[in-house]
Amino acid sequence: MKISIIKIGGNVIDYPEKLEEFLSIFAKVPGFKILVHGGGVMASRFGESMGIMPEMIDGRRITDKDTLDMVTMVYAGLISKTVVAKLQALKVNAIGLTGADGNLIRSVKRPVRGIDYGFVGDIQEVNTTLFQQLLQIGVLPVVNAITHDKKGQLLNTNADSIASALATSLAEEHHVDLYFCFNKQGVLIDENNEQSIIPLINEDIYSELRKENVIHSGMIPKLDNAFEALKQGVQRVWIGKAENLMMAVKGKTAGTIIERQRYDLY
């Protein structure tokens, strides 16, 4: 079985026209697929309207109890069900899921090591059997950024990490490609210049660019998860603009590509 894990971020979700465009492309991606979504932009906007100001460190949200309640409502409620409804309109039989549903993703609360992230989850286990069963009966999982600890506690979990964990878990038995879709052409040397794309990146280049603060904020967890996924058996990782997803699926030049064969050569 070949599976595409496709992650979409808040910079697309927060704009109805961009979301519609992306989902129309996503619906046409052939074969088995899973959609993972964040929604940090919308969550921050809703939080601010409720007096809950966002606090971010290296692209990761500090999550106290009020923030957890808010992101659960936004991710698992408004965004999840909006995406599922739009996919149903495109004749894609989707189901919106948190990690708690069917015990799909179990996490533990991140231990305090210098920074207290609050109710943030580090993934421990993925229920690959249930994901495979859903795919085999023609139901497309739409997974949001909420997991659980199997002790009754929900946890806010980075959506890039979720996409990577799903990909690596399923890669034990299947060919898995991982796609990170966001609002830039790919990994850029200059974030204000869409033409400064890095078409192929390895860990040495990443390390240097991070030291020079060329790569920072939300791109850090994306690339951390991309490299970890390749180490764990994922065949190919792509990072690029949401509207270029189909080009990437077809193997055409678009975005930043990390392939397992090339990665192993470094």
Residues 217-244: pLDDT tens digits?
Answer: 777 877 888 888 998 999 999 999 999 9
Calpha distance 175→88 (Å, rounded)? 27
Q: What are the C-alpha distances in Å from 84 to residues 87, 149, 152? A: 5, 25, 25
The reported pLDDT for the residue numbered 109 is 97
Q: Which two tokens stand for residue 183?
A: 């609002």
- Strand (E) positions, 160-222? 175-182
Calpha distance 155→189 (Å, rounded)? 33
Is 213 buried (19+), middle (13-18) or exposed (0-12) by CB count in 10 A? exposed
Q: Which two tokens stand for residue 24?
A: 């129309």
pTM for the structure as a whole: 0.91
The reported pLDDT for the residue numbered 196 is 87
Domains of the chain by residue range: 2-183+237-249
Q: How, if at all, do strands 105-109 and 121-126 pair? A: antiparallel
Q: Does domain 2-183+237-249 match CATH 3.30.470.10?
A: no
Give the side-chain half-sphere CA count within 13 A for 118.
16
The reported pLDDT for the residue numbered 245 is 94
The reported pLDDT for the residue numbered 171 is 96
Given a cut of 90, whether residue 254 has pLDDT beyond it is no
Residue 138's CB is within 10 A of a number of other CB atoms, namely 9
Q: How, if at all, do strands 146-148 and 154-156 pair? A: antiparallel
Q: Are residues 5 and 170 in contact, defined by beta-carbon separation less than 8 angstroms?
A: yes
pLDDT band at 260 (very low <50, low <70, confident <90, very high): low
Calpha distance 265→202 (Å, rounded)? 10
Residue type at 174 in one-letter notation? H
Residues 128-158: pLDDT tens digits?
Answer: 999 999 999 999 999 999 999 999 999 999 9
Is 130 buried (19+), middle (13-18) or exposed (0-12) by CB count in 10 A? middle
The reported pLDDT for the residue numbered 266 is 40
Q: What are the C-alpha distances in Å from 40 to residues 10, 61, 144, 148, 218? A: 5, 9, 11, 19, 10
DSSP for 130-190 reads HHHHHHHTT-EEEE-SEEE-SSS-EEE--HHHHHHHHHHHHTTTSEEEEEEEESSSSSBSS
The reported pLDDT for the residue numbered 26 is 97
185: phi then psi, degrees, rounded to nearest 5? -65, -20
Beta bridge partners, 241, equal 182
Residue type at 203 in one-letter notation? E
